[in-house]
Structure 1
Amino acid sequence: MKKEECFYLGKIVSKFSFKGEVLIKLDTDEPESYVKMESVFIDYNNNLVPFFIEKSKLHKSDLLRVKFEDIDSEEDADDLMKAEIYLPLSLLPKLEGDQFYYHEVIGFTIVDKTFGTVGIIKAINDSTAQALFEIDREGIEILIPMNDEFIDKIDREAKQVIVNTPEGLIDLYL
């Protein structure tokens, strides 16, 4: 399994018991959706390695307490500290309408209702307070906030994101 075929689910943040249990900080709005997983991929020495889950339950609402098969001691668990957890993209629920996953719109064309074709989405920058579409327009980078008020429509068939940005926003970059 390659990282490109997976989505980031969370990170192992601490040990929980002397029996090798760990706590995973989930990167999701719906942690309860991931309680019944049978296995996950752990980024271990830059390889995605499958780990099977013996048991898991939510701990303090956004942490998942997990007992992996064959991880039976604190020493075993030490080896997994700070490791990232992934699941195959095929396990993501399909989104409808104007909801989308960030990875899903990479490569889509951004079309502004007033300006016209802006360019191709090359990345999503979610490290700022407001997530941004990073758009390539013939070598020029254009940033458009991923604001619900700006996003008019997601057209999956045409691979387009239709936006309605404030007047002058796109011109700032040109």
Structure 2
Amino acid sequence: MNLDESYELGYVVKTHGLRGQLVAELDVDSVDDYRRVEEVFVERPAGSGKLHRFGVERLTPQAGTRVLLKLKTVDRIEDAELFRGLKLYRPLVDLPELEEDQFYFHEVVGYAVVDANLGPLGTVESFYELPEQVLLAMRYQGQEVLIPVVDELIQHADEDTKELHVTLPDGLLDIYLNPGAPDDEDDAEPSEDAQAAK
């Protein structure tokens, strides 16, 4: 399996104990869905693009989206240390089915972004998953535009037409097209009368 056939499940934060356990942070909505996962893939060395399969001996949910992960054949802290900071992957084909109006981010990369009022705008390039929110990155008139991924703005994805339908708030595109424009008259140059009064 290669990176194109996989999705990022999470990453290894640190080791735990002396018998090869790992603490991992999972990028999932429900950790419970992965309690019985039988294998994960790890990119080793980091950045190589080479995925190696490891059987999962045990996955125990902790606080939030953290889990204790015990991989088969990794039984010593020295072996576990080699996984610190590495990303964990799973096959795309194993992703759970979503509701009809939902989509996975990787599925809509390359889709045309169509606004309810402005029509076709650009193409979905990528997603930025920040701690406070997820942003969709779109190329519009040569500029990167970031759209918060929230129900109020992202309407639905049309698999047949490869379109992502949105309703953008007024002024969002102007922020990216005219980043140096003054917000109001206070930012404008003072008039000659004002200068003379000084």
Q: Name the CA distance, whole Å, in 1 between partners of 2:18 and 2:149.
A: 44
CA distance in 1, matches of 2:38, 2:133: 34
The answer to whether the 8 A contact 2:56-2:71 is kept is yes
| Structure-2 residue corresponding to 1:115 | 118
Other structure's SS at 2:80 match: helix
Higher helix share: 2
Pick the structure with greater CA Rg. Answer: 2
Aligned-pair CA distance for 1:62:
2.8
Residue 32 (structure 2) aligns with: 32
Render the CA deviation track for 1:43-87: whole Å, top value 9, x for unaligned: 111221101112232234532222212111111111211211110
Q: Does 1:48 align with 2:51?
A: yes
**Offset of 1:138 from its aligned partner?**
5.2
TM-score (norm 2): 0.78
Given that 1:97 and 1:154 are in contact with CA atoms closer than 8 Å, whether structure 2 keeps it comes out as no
Structure 2 distance, partners of 1:128, 1:17, is 28
Q: What does residue 157 of structure 1 align with? A: 160
Give 1:119 deviation, angstroms. Answer: 1.1
User: For residues 1-50 of structure 1, what are the alpha-carbon distances to aligned partners after superposition, in whole Å with 9 as ceiling and x for unaligned?
Assistant: 22122111111122222221222121112001111111100111122110
- Residues 102, 156 of structure 2: 8 Å contact kept: no
**As a proportion of its length, which structure holds more strand?**
1
1:5 is the counterpart of 2:5 = yes
Q: 1: distance between equivalents of 2:132 and 2:59?
A: 32
**Letter of the structure 2 residue corresponding to residue 141 of structure 1:** E
Aligned counterpart for 1:75 among listed residues 56, 74, 78? 78
C-alpha RMSD over aligned residues:
2.0
Q: Percent of counterpart pairs with the same letter?
A: 34
From 63, 73, 96, give the equivalent of 1:93.
96
Range with bigger deviation, 10-19 or 36-45 = 10-19
SS in 1 for 2:75: coil
Q: Give the residue type in structure 2 aligned to 1:125.
A: Y
